[in-house]
Amino acid sequence: MKNIDRWVIGASFSFCVARQPNLVFVRLSRDSVLDDSLLEWLRTRAQSTRLKPSQVCFQLSEELVLQQLKQSKALAEKLRENGFLFAVDHLGTGRDSTQLLGHLPMQFVKVDGSLMQGLHRDKDRQKKVGDIAARARELKIKTSAERVENANTMAVLWQLGIAFVQGNFTQTHGVVLGEEMYLHSQADAAKWATPSGALLPVGQSHHQANHFNITEHVGAQAIAAAALTGKRRARVTLQSLTLYKDH
């Protein structure tokens, strides 16, 4: 998984340099969190590609952070020292999600999509999301809600103080990478990546978006694995590798 992570990171760096998005999120696996050589590799890669580190936000799931709290905190601090951003996603599934915000230096937190289901009529979920939003504001952490699927949910999130949303309601689903493509290099992934949505400020339309998203492992793993195993042609229909560019 470490090699796949690095392939995805390299493709994301190439995309940033070529397309200059405001921000790209890249999820890391457990192997990368435990990889002592990752930071030096990131520094070398960023220098060689002339990447602006502030264009990349590395993210870990809440579950992984709780499993590897010491290592996750150390990684977040080193990323910040090197100019990268850090985020925790799927927050809200643990017992002490709000407390976790104060334990790691982060610039973004993404509230788990499971809390969005029926949010507009579930007071307990509204309280949990509201507590996360309030604590994040205190710590100057930007908040995003995952898997937002309707206007009712978006309206509640606005009232609760969530800053950004992503999900079916805010984006057009579709094939992100061409169904048939040659994967000769990391640059090929960036070449084929096309916008299919955005991380939107609550209350704005798609055309007003100014923050962008993400390489997610579900899709990125399939792409990277094809390249790493030397397959010349890969038939890929994905919605999870999303590299969104400014309008």
Who wins on pLDDT, 34 or 169? 34
User: Mean pLDDT across the stretch 102-113?
Assistant: 95
In terms of average pLDDT, the best of 83-97, 193-207, 226-240 is 83-97
Average pLDDT over the chain reads 76
Half-sphere exposure of 125 toward its Cβ, with a 13 Å CA cutoff?
18
With a CB cutoff of 8 Å and minimum separation 6, the contacts of 128 are: 92, 97, 115
| DSSP string across 155-216 | HHHHHHT--EE-STTTS----SS-SEEE-SSHHHHHHH------BEETT--GGG--B---B-
Judging by DSSP bridges, how do beta strands 142-145 and 56-61 pair with one another?
unpaired
Indicate whether 101 pLDDT > 90: yes
d(CA 161, CA 152): 15
- Whether the Cβ atoms of residue 54 and residue 20 lie closer than 8 Å to each other: no
Mean pLDDT check: name the lowest of 12-16, 83-87, 188-192: 188-192
User: How confident is the model over 157-169, as a mean pLDDT?
Assistant: 87
Which residues have a Cβ under 8 Å from the Cβ of 85 and sit 6 or more positions away? 23, 54, 56, 57, 58, 79, 107, 108
Beta strands in 31-132 (DSSP E): 56-61, 85-91, 108-111
For residue 5, is pLDDT > 60?
yes
Mean pLDDT of 155-162: 94
**What local confidence, expressed as pLDDT, does residue 199 receive?**
60
CA angle 25, 31, 36 (to 5 degrees): 95
Q: What is the pLDDT of residue 164?
A: 87
Identify the band that residue 42 occupies on the pLDDT scale cut at 50, 70 and 90: very high
Q: Where are the beta strands (DSSP E) in the chain?
A: 24-27, 56-61, 85-91, 108-111, 142-145, 164-165, 180-182, 200-201, 233-235
- Please indicate whether residue 53 or residue 228 has the higher confidence score (pLDDT): 53
Q: In the structure encoding, which two tokens stand for residue 121, read together?
A: 């009529």
Q: What is the mean pLDDT of residues 226-244?
A: 37
Rounded to an integer, the average pLDDT of 10-31 is 88
Q: What percent of the chain has pLDDT over 70?
A: 68
Q: Are 27 and 89 in contact (CB under 8 A)?
A: yes
* Of the ranges 13-27, 187-201, 231-245, the best mean pLDDT one: 13-27
At 21 the pLDDT is 81
Mean pLDDT calculated for residue range 84-99: 92
Give percent of the chain above pLDDT 90: 51
- Does residue 184 carry a pLDDT above 50? no
Which position has the higher pLDDT, 193 or 29? 29
Residue 22 is inside which H or E element, if any? none
Q: What is the pTM of this model?
A: 0.76
